[in-house]
Amino acid sequence: MAVLPLEIQVIKDAPTRDSLSMKINSLCFEMEAAGVMDCFPCLVIRGICDYSDSHKNKGWQEYAALVAAAYAKELLMSIPPQLLQHSKRRKAQHPTAPEHISAEAEECLRAMFVTDSSLDREGILDAKGDICEGTCEWILSTDEFKAWDQNSPHLLWISAPPDILRQ
């Protein structure tokens, strides 16, 4: 994680980018979110995938978006639920903040907490190769898993470093 300098104009050449980078000791620049924090108190999380020069390459854009979304989700998961439930406090601190969010925004927030496990698995296998024999098999025999498997809805979320899941 790093604080990115916000630029109002697009950087289109490597010498300008490199000069600014050395001057302010920055690895990258954020241009699209400039001014957002002036209108609404928020944290902007972006996936950076461009060199800020004439060599435009969209090849990393989807990966950068995925990393930014994963980071945002981890950040939100680390916030205690009690802090998210005090909308009156938020309204008192930021009178311009909307009291109720739109259905579209609510759906977006809900979607951040749902994952397609088949896509997750494919992504891991593509990045890391085949899983180690026996990984996660132990969980299938636990009483908790069996009880979960008998009920609905069927969303099982296990969040831990991969090494922890091997037993």
**How is the chain split into domains, by residue range?**
14-114
pLDDT score of 142: 87
Q: What is the pTM of this model?
A: 0.41
Instruction: Provide the 3-class DSSP secondary structure of residue 80.
Output: coil
Kindly state the average pLDDT of the residues 77-97. 59
User: Mean pLDDT lowest for which of 28-37, 113-122, 129-138?
Assistant: 113-122
Q: Which pLDDT belongs to residue 22? A: 84
Check pLDDT > 60 for residue 18: yes
Pick from 39-43, 54-58, 94-98, 139-143: least confident: 94-98
Q: How confident is the model at residue 61 (pLDDT cuts 50, 70, 90)?
A: confident
Q: Return the pLDDT at 1.
A: 46
| Separation between Cα atoms, residue 43 and residue 24, nearest integer Å | 21
Q: Which two tokens stand for residue 129?
A: 């190769």
pLDDT band at 15 (very low <50, low <70, confident <90, very high): confident
Under 8 Å between Cβ of 3 and 26: no
pLDDT over threshold 50, residue 124: yes
Residues 65, 23 contacting (CB under 8 angstroms): no
Between the CA of residue 6 and those of 50, 62, 161, what are the distances in Å? 15, 22, 33
Angstrom distance (rounded) from CA 99 to CA 88: 8
Residue 64 confidence (pLDDT) above 60: yes
Higher pLDDT, 45 or 81: 45
What number is the average pLDDT over the span 22-46? 73
Q: What is the pLDDT of the chain when averaged over all its residues?
A: 70
CA-to-CA distance for 28 and 21, rounded, in angstroms? 7
